[in-house]
Amino acid sequence: MPRTSTRLTFAVLATGAGVFSMLQSLIAPALPTVQHALHTSQSTATWVMTAYLLSASVFTPILGRVGDLIGKKRTLVAVLLAVLAGCLLAALAPSIGVLIVARVVQGIGGALFPLSFGIIRDEFAPSRVPGSISNLSAVIAAGGGVGMVAAGPIVSALDYRWLFWIPVAIVAAATLIAVRYVPESPRRTGGRVNWLGAVLLSGWLVALLLPLSQAGVWGWGSARVVGLFALSAVLFALWLTGEARSRTPLIDLRVMRLPAVWTTNLAALLFGAGMYAIWSFLPGFVQTPSAAGYGFGASVTASGLLMLPMLVAMFVSGVLSGRLEPRLGAKTLLVCGAAFGAVALAFLALWHDAQWQIAVVAGLFGFGIGLAFASMANLVVGSVPAEQTGAATGMNANIRTIGGSIGAAVTGVLVTGRLQPSGLPYESGYTHGFTLLAVLCLAAALAALLVPVRRAAGGPAGKAPRAGSGPAASRPAEPVQSLQPVEPGAPVGPAPRG
């Protein structure tokens, strides 16, 4: 197939990744409606979110690696078809059990993030890679905001099932365009999928994330929670041992130990804790009746509109970061993004008496999210071998999710630990939670300061051979130790041989 327009390729990638990101947050405001419509309990309805989280955590790094091995376009199309099937099944689900299964299938779409970053690295000119990754990161970040804003109006005007019918149409169109126009990346990684590593990775992720998401229901000291945490630690140790000894590891631990990678992942863990927790708890805060001594008694639609400044700011700052990065560097943008988040949350902990204050906080925090998302992706992509792009960016997304689960669980303990006679949380629970999240974002900014600044390897941007083309594409991959991580914005192909 002849190489096609990178603009069309980017449009397909942005559509798929944006829809998946939107599905993460789209259903959350509608959970009470789903619970009532499907005649289930609140604890069962929360599995609609938990199943999606667990599925995405498992499939994101595994299918990112599969794409590196068998071809990113082939894997991308398969993942889009899975998301399409999951949305269709969810739209038709007659019971809560079927809806939960549908959400598991939708979670496969988590692999769209690493696959998209890998395709951009393989297909776009080196000089365009950082800007394109920034723009895609802006779409991913904004997708979550679209879900929060759009859920209320869609459910009010139509029905909660349209939260899935609309993505069905969008993903179907994206899949057809991807099959016809997205080129298959020529770069492949040698080896095979380490299925034992995949099983162990899946096991410790599920054993970690499941109690984090369900501890509020099961109890932090319950046998299930403690047992699963212990199981997670054992499986994690086995996974590390197996990956270190494997000739074809699922996740190359040498890559994970690169200074620019582990420091970026540490910042992702901490910033993810603040980001996902604020997405979970800020709508609940503004929906609290003012009789509780705080809150505004906002409807689902009104609370979504208060998040609109966050959505706009996320997209604008994500796009803007692609233009700022050549001048400031991805490290600086990551530090600034996390710092914006810390300032916004500190402001929220002190001042939350008027709706305009919530809107300002949402906008400021959204600006930080856009900068942080784009810079984290560029730091990882610019620091790892091209054949490890999918696995490395998949793990970065997973680590951000793990941080989000930890942040949401701890904030949930603070918010719901003490309740008023009416059953509503005390204001102090929210303020303590927002303060903790501010500290976590500040810690993310400090972690970002540890990211090393590296000199570009090779010639000026735009003059290196296209990734996957020329003689370099047919050479065996260099060992990780011989690769020179580059500052995002520089060529990202293999390092020249000495």
pLDDT confidence of 466, banded at 50, 70, 90?
Answer: very low
- Predicted confidence (pLDDT) at residue 376 exceeds the cutoff of 80: yes
What whole-number percentage of the chain has pLDDT above 70?
89
What's the whole-number mean pLDDT along residues 468-486? 37
pLDDT-based confidence at residue 216 (cuts at 50, 70, 90) = confident
**Cα–Cα dist 109/397, whole Å:** 12
16-28 pLDDT, tens digit each = 888 888 888 788 7
Across residues 116-136, what is the average pLDDT? 86
pLDDT at 233: 95
CA Rg value for the chain: 22
Query: Per-residue confidence at 189, pLDDT binned at 50, 70, 90?
Result: low
pLDDT band at 97 (very low <50, low <70, confident <90, very high): very high
pLDDT for the residue 475: 36
pLDDT of residue 465 exceeding 50, the answer is: no
Instruction: Please name the helix (run of DSSP H) or strand (run of DSSP E) that holds residue 444, with its range, or none.
Output: helix 427-448
Q: Which of 233-237, 248-252, 491-495 shows the highest mean pLDDT? A: 233-237
pLDDT > 60? residue 200: yes
The pLDDT of residue 153 is 87
C-alpha 284/C-alpha 28 separation (Å) is: 11
Handedness of CA 244, 246, 249, 254 (dihedral sign): positive
Q: Give the helix ranges, DSSP H, for 187-222.
A: 195-218
Query: Amino acid identity of 377?
Result: A
pLDDT at residue 487 is higher than 80: no
Burial 67-105 (b: 16+ CB within 10 A, else e): bbbebbbebbbbbbbbbbbbbbbbbebeebeebbbbbbb
% of the chain surpassing 90 pLDDT: 30
41-50, 231-240, 470-479 — which one is most confidently predicted on average?
231-240
Handedness of CA 395, 46, 14, 366 (dihedral sign): negative
The pLDDT value recorded for residue 333 is 93
Is the pLDDT at 52 greater than 60? The verdict is: yes
- Provide the pLDDT for residue 361: 92
Alpha helix locations (H) across 329-426? Answer: 330-350, 355-381, 389-416
Does residue 489 surpass a pLDDT of 80?
no
Spatial distance between the Cα atoms of 372 and 270, rounded to a whole number of angstroms: 12
Element (H, E) at 306: helix 300-306
Banded pLDDT at 346 (limits 50, 70, 90): very high
pLDDT at residue 468, as a whole number:
38
pLDDT band at 268 (very low <50, low <70, confident <90, very high): very high
Whether 1-186 and 252-456+484-489 share one fold: the answer is: yes
Mean pLDDT of 302-307: 82
Cα–Cα distance measured from residue 69 to residue 72, given in angstroms and rounded to the nearest whole number: 8
Looking at the chain, how many residues does it have?
498
Per-residue model confidence (pLDDT) at position 497: 35
pLDDT > 70? residue 2? no
How high is the mean pLDDT of the chain?
82
pLDDT at 191: 65
Kindly indicate the confidence band of residue 457, based on its pLDDT and cuts at 50, 70 and 90: very low
pLDDT tens for 237-261 read 999 998 888 887 878 888 888 899 9
Q: Where are the domains of the chain?
A: 1-186, 194-249, 252-456+484-489
Question: Under CATH, to which class is 252-456+484-489 assigned?
Answer: mainly alpha
Q: State residue 338's pLDDT score.
A: 95
Distances (CA, A) of 319 to 24, 369, 487: 21, 12, 19
* Integer angstrom CA distances of residue 181 from 19, 74, 80, 116: 19, 12, 14, 14
- Alpha carbon of residue 105 to chain centroid: 17
pLDDT of residue 454: 61
pLDDT above 50 for 461:
no
> Selecting from 1.10.10.10, 3.40.50.450, 1.20.1250.20, 1.10.760.10, what CATH number does the domain 1-186 have?
1.20.1250.20
If one compares 407 and 2, the residue with the highest pLDDT of the two is 407
What's the confidence (pLDDT) of residue 445? Answer: 95
488, with CB counted inside 10 A (0-12, 13-18, 19+), is: buried
